[in-house]
Amino acid sequence: MANPYVKDVSEAQFMTEVVDRSTQVPVLVDFWAEWCGPCKTLSPLLEAAAAEYAGAFELVKIDVDANQALSQQMKVQGIPTVVAFVGGQPVGQFSGAVSEAELRAFIEQFVGPTTDPEVDAALDLLDTGDVAGAEAALRSILTVRASEDAAKTLAMIYIDTDRMPEALEVLSTLTPDDETKRLIAMANMSTAAANLDSYATAFSEDPNIENRVSYAKALAGAGQAEIGFDVLLDAVAERDDDSDPARLAMIEIFEMLGSEDPLVGVYRKRLANALY
């Protein structure tokens, strides 16, 4: 099925389809060429975004080889180049292939965030306690199209139901943004938490760096992040050659908790003091 929010436009149509149209809805103009490798990476992301945003913006594609004068007028120096038009004026642009997360951030400067109706429906099922129904709905979405929101929500279900290998498998396919890193850290530490007693015993018998890190991650996964931070901070403060895994483990716990957690601010400062 043709995407109603994507159209190929020539120089003759540019004023009507881009400049004038952008007074009614944001228009993203994709300058591309058939021979351009990065264009083949970016174009599917742009077209998928146009379909997902369902009219919140329109995508116009301009072949630079067929519209050289227009490309020069727009000062296109490399492709792909994407220019956003709002209110009849260019208001932002980028060049080169970008990740889905970077593209979404660019788009949301002009159209605001959007939600995926199918993912929203799955979330509604979760709210009613129908975890199995939500999982089935999310898996169904992912069989027909890519959706980071669906994948992250599915991974969260896997984490909540103690299926960490499945969660990590889903997360491994996603853009490593802050939320993905948080979920990966959560899955890893929840796995460690299941072995908290054995890690505690190993650490008490031999507090080497490997046992220290394993014990601290297990504590964090079990909801005792503050104790885990202290276990790691002791190693960082010693500044031994083998203390870097402790620093990295603290960063991983920061990612799991998220920047809004009060502990993160406190222990970031303590980590900085221990390092410098």
Are 180 and 174 in contact by the 8 Å Cβ rule? The answer is yes
pLDDT the model gives residue 54 = 77
Mean pLDDT per 10-residue section of the chain, whose length is 276 residues: 83 95 94 94 91 87 95 92 95 92 90 79 94 96 88 95 95 84 92 94 95 95 95 85 84 89 93 87
Q: How far apart are CA 103 and CA 139, in angstroms?
A: 24
Domains and CATH numbers, the chain: 6-111 (3.40.30.10), 117-174 (1.25.40), 193-275 (1.25.40.10)
| pLDDT of res. 1 | 43
State yes or no: is 52 an active-site residue.
no
Of 9, 27, 28, 36, catalytic: 36
**Given this model, what pLDDT does residue 174 score?**
85
Query: pTM for this structure?
Result: 0.57
pLDDT reported for residue 148 = 85
DSSP characters for 77-132? -SSSEEEEEETTEEEEEEES---HHHHHHHHHHHH-----HHHHHHHHHHHTT-HH
- Active-site pick, 39, 98, 134, 225: 39
Whether residue 36 lies in the annotated active site: yes
Neighbours of 185 (CB within 10 A): 22
